[in-house]
């Protein structure tokens, strides 16, 4: 059997542990699709796969157990799903499957189509961003969440987008019930204080979650017409140095979010290690190499932030070092209490 | 006198009103709702007929036109007191049958329950009412059960349909403006609801004994005492006072009255630090029996007008009409308990 594995991966199939058997990865930007495509996925799984479907960690589907020789047929079957999920198929003919798989599915929480806490339509923005970044082979993870509850865990992605609203108070509608103050204190950052019977908002503390608006019985608090976003940067998992993304911009607007994403792709294309395994390198490691300042120079190019925006500086990532320097890292003990020693000459 | 007016002909009357009145009506606020990308419909001063929301019932009631959420009564500086200015202009209020019936309840409390309330009266005297007809029942309303579906004490009724307005004018000068604008005369009766999906029955034998029923207990945990049901209610009249001092010494400031809710913490706080009705179920009992029992015992008719706004807004899906319909069972429970003693 002669299969170009590089080509197969770009076509959104996987090299599995079972020889000659692959799985098909179905991209679902924003994690929302019409139910009719589930029937389509079922059909592919039962006809070409082993009858099971995996719900992937990034909200796609993976249909396992497909023999390599069935890939052309699967690709033909996938076309209606590709059309129905609005995937940009540029670079590949219709009926020939996905044009890329490197750039990961844009995942999103359920958002304001359903959730009362969400500050924007996460699905719509995920689909919009997918149109901007896909197809591409660069290994980038973009994650969207509706509010600072961060159910989608945006800080584990390269670029995290967290919905915010700027609460507006109409003091004449305030009845001094204190619901907003209690909600902010118990569920959020305690940014409200009662001054002369009415809430006063500490905009430095406020994270724009909208708990005050939801709690207000009289619509004294309402949401800003503008949708705002907190952008977090360069979280990652993996074998070297997993870490949470850090705050980059508070109160960014949608245009800035999309521009920063575009810029980040350009930066990665320019600086990625040409020898990186499989052409994949987490952005964070590239930034570690070029320095944060260089990344920011690229990321903020032609970005016009709204006046309200706050840019964090400096950006410091901590994170877990699996192979940390033995002289500066923490010690480890065996169960019997003896210290784990490192006799190797090589340390990072 | 009845008329059918085009948008333009009605506009003439609207302009005529604007010379004398601020026009208060249900208005849609796009994006102004509690949740992201939702609208709010509530009362506001409108400048154009198109701003009036004829389809959807206002989430908050007509009462904001005369009893705002917060109202400054007077300003003080040491021994000097300056009364806050009353509204300079008269107010024309667009409202539905249930709310027009609620006006009577509000008047009962503020005008006919002892001396008239000065601050209410000075606004109330300058109100005129345009009743919006209801071609169909709203989701949670039970106006037919409460007998509030056929309010009649309007200055004009209005039904908006197919780009036309059907008007029943009881003001000669308004009729004259419509006639001059070329509106066709027609025998007009406002649309009325004759049946609601929700029906309630207040039991004949209802007494305060029902307070001993276990029916209230579930609300200890279900209700979150947010007070939304009170703030949207067209017949809730309660307020509390706030003296707000501009200076640290407390000599200069203003006195406000602010809408209050018998569901919200602090309502029953008294001097000395005590507080009655700590449990939410007790508060629910109090509210319910005020709406469908003790107001009636004092004034001879029900307070609740069945607009259903409390059901519309409750974030915990507690239905007031459902509570009313459980009163009979509650009475039976306490009577059975008493007779078994």
Per-residue model confidence as pLDDT tens for chain A (348 residues): 899 999 999 999 999 999 999 999 999 999 999 999 999 999 999 999 999 999 999 999 999 999 999 999 999 999 999 999 999 999 999 999 999 999 999 999 999 999 999 999 999 999 999 999 999 999 999 999 999 999 999 999 999 999 999 999 999 999 999 999 999 999 999 999 999 999 999 999 999 999 999 999 999 999 999 999 999 999 999 888 899 999 999 999 999 999 999 999 999 999 999 999 888 898 999 999 999 999 999 999 999 999 999 999 999 888 777 766 555 566 777 888 887 776 555 444
ipTM over 0.90: yes
| Distance, CA of A109 to CA of A151 (rounded, Å) | 7
- Going along chain A from its start, the domains and CATH numbers come out as 5-84 (3.30.70.3340), 107-164+227-311 (3.30.413.10), 167-223 (3.30.70.20)
Q: Can you tell me the distance from the alpha carbon of A23 to that of A68, in angstroms, rounded to the nearest whole number?
A: 9
Beta-strand ranges (E) seen in chain A are 21-26, 54-55, 61-67, 107-108, 142-145, 159-164, 167-169, 192-195, 198-201, 221-223, 228-233, 246-252, 310-311
Partners of residue B261 in chain A, C-beta under 8 Å: 175, 177, 217
Choose among B33, B37, B69: nearest Cβ to A175. B69
- State the pLDDT at residue A345: 54
Q: Please list, in sequence order, all residues whose beta carbon lies within 8 angstroms of the beta carbon of residue B235, skipping any fewer than 6 positions away.
A: B63, B102, B105, B106, B291, B303, B304, B305
Torsion of CA A291, A296, A298, A303, to 10 degrees: 180
Partner-chain residue, chosen from A172, A197, A214, that has the shortest CB–CB distance to B34:
A214
CA atoms of B92 and B208, how far apart (whole Å): 39
- Please indicate if any CB of chain B lies within 8 Å of the CB of A345: no
Contacts of A173 in chain B (CB under 8 A): 69-70
- Nearest CB among B35, B242, B244 relative to A112 is that of B35
- Chosen for mutation from B36, B68, B228 (greatest number of chain A CBs closer than 10 Å) is B36
Is B243's Cβ below 8 Å from some Cβ in A? no
Q: Are B167 and B156 in contact (CB under 8 A)?
A: yes
**Are the Cβ atoms of A119 and B227 closer than 8 angstroms?**
no
CB contact under 8 A, A197 and B258: yes
Which residues of chain B neighbour A119 with C-beta distances below 8 Å? 36
Cβ–Cβ < 8 Å for B330, B213: yes
pTM to 2 decimals?
0.93
Strand-pairing partners, residue B256, are B72, B242
Number of Cβ pairs < 8 A linking chain A and chain B: 79
Assess A168–B contact: CB distance below 8 Å, yes or no.
no
Cα B98–chain centre separation = 8
Residue among B35, B70, B245 minimizing CB distance to A174: B70
What is the pLDDT, as a whole number, of residue A347? 46
CB spacing of A219 vs B34 below 8 angstroms: yes
Q: Is B23 on the interface with A (CB under 8 A)?
A: no
Closest chain B residue to the Cα of A117, Cα to Cα: B35
pLDDT of residue A343: 58
Low-confidence ranges of chain B (pLDDT < 50): none
A222 touches chain B (CB under 8 A): yes
Cα(B262)–Cα(B280) distance, rounded to whole angstroms? 10
Residue B153's H or E segment, with its range, is: none
Q: What is the DSSP string of B204-249?
A: TT--GGGGGSGGGTHHHHH-----HHHHH-SS---EEEEEEESSTT
pLDDT of residue A330: 67
């Amino acid at each position: 059997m002669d299969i170009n594995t590089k080509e197969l991966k770009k076509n959104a199939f996987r090299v599995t542990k079972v020889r000659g058997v692959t799985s098909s990865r179905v991209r679902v930007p924003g994690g929302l699709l019409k139910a009719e495509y589930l029937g389509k996925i079922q059909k592919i799984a039962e006809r070409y796969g082993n009858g099971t479907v995996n719900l992937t960690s990034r909200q796609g589907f993976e249909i396992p157990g497909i023999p390599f020789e069935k890939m052309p047929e699967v690709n033909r079957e996938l076309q209606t799903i590709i059309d129905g999920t609005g995937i940009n198929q540029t670079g590949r003919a219709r009926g020939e499957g996905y044009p890329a798989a490197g750039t990961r599915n844009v995942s999103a929480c359920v958002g304001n189509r359903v959730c009362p806490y969400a500050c924007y339509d996460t699905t719509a923005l995920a689909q919009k961003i997918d149109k901007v970044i896909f197809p591409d082979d660069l290994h980038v993870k973009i994650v969207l969440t509706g509010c600072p509850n961060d159910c989608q865990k945006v800080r584990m992605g390269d670029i995290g987008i967290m919905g915010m609203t700027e609460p507006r108070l109409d003091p004449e509608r305030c009845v001094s019930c204190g619901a907003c103050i209690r909600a902010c204190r118990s569920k959020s950052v305690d940014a409200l204080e009662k001054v002369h019977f009415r809430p006063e908002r500490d905009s430095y503390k406020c994270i724009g979650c909208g708990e005050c608006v939801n709690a207000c019985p009289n619509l004294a608090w309402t949401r800003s017409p503008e949708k705002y976003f907190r952008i977090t940067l360069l979280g990652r998992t993996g074998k070297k140095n997993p870490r949470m993304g850090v705050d980059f911009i508070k109160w960014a607007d949608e245009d800035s979010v999309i521009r920063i994403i575009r810029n980040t792709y350009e930066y990665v294309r320019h600086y990625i290690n040409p020898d990186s395994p499989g052409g994949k390198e987490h952005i964070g490691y590239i930034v570690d190499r070029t320095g944060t300042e260089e990344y920011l120079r690229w990321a903020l190019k032609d970005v016009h932030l709204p006046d309200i925006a706050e840019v964090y500086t400096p950006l410091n990532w901590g994170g877990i070092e699996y192979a940390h320097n033995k002289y500066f890292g923490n010690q480890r003990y065996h169960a019997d209490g003896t210290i784990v020693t490192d006799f190797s000459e090589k340390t990072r | 006198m009845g008329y059918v007016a085009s948008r333009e002909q009605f506009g003439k009357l609207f302009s005529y009103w604007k010379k004398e009145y601020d026009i208060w009506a249900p208005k849609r606020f796009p994006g102004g709702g509690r949740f992201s990308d939702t609208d709010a419909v509530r009362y506001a001063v409108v400048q154009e007929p198109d701003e009036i929301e004829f389809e959807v019932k206002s989430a908050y009631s007509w009462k904001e036109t005369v009893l705002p959420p917060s109202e400054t009564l007077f300003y003080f500086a040491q021994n000097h007191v300056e009364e806050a200015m009353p509204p300079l202009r008269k107010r024309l209020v667009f409202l539905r049958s249930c709310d027009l019936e609620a006006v009577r309840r509000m008047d009962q409390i503020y005008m006919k329950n002892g001396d008239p309330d000065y601050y209410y009266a000075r606004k109330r005297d300058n109100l005129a009412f345009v009743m919006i007809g209801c071609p169909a029942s709203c989701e949670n309303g039970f106006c037919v059960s409460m007998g509030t579906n056929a309010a009649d004490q309007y200055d004009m009724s209005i039904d908006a349909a197919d780009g036309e307005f059907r008007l029943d004018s009881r003001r000669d000068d308004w009729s004259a403006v419509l006639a001059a604008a070329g509106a066709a005369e027609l025998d007009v009766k406002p649309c009325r609801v004759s049946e609601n999906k929700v029906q309630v029955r207040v039991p004949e034998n209802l007494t305060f004994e029902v307070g001993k029923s276990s029916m209230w207990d579930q609300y200890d945990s279900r209700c979150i005492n947010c007070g939304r049901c009170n703030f949207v209610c067209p017949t809730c009249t309660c307020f509390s006072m706030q003296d707000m001092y501009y200076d640290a010494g407390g000599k200069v400031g203003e006195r406000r009255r602010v809408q209050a809710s018998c569901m919200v913490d602090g309502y029953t706080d008294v001097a000395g630090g005590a507080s009655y009705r700590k449990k939410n179920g007790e508060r629910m009992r109090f509210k319910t029996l005020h709406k469908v029992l003790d107001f009636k015992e004092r004034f001879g008719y029900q307070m609740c007008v069945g607009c259903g706004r409390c059901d519309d807004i409750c974030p915990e899906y507690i239905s007031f009409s459902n509570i009313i319909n459980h009163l009979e069972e509650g009475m039976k429970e306490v009577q059975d308990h008493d007779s078994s003693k």
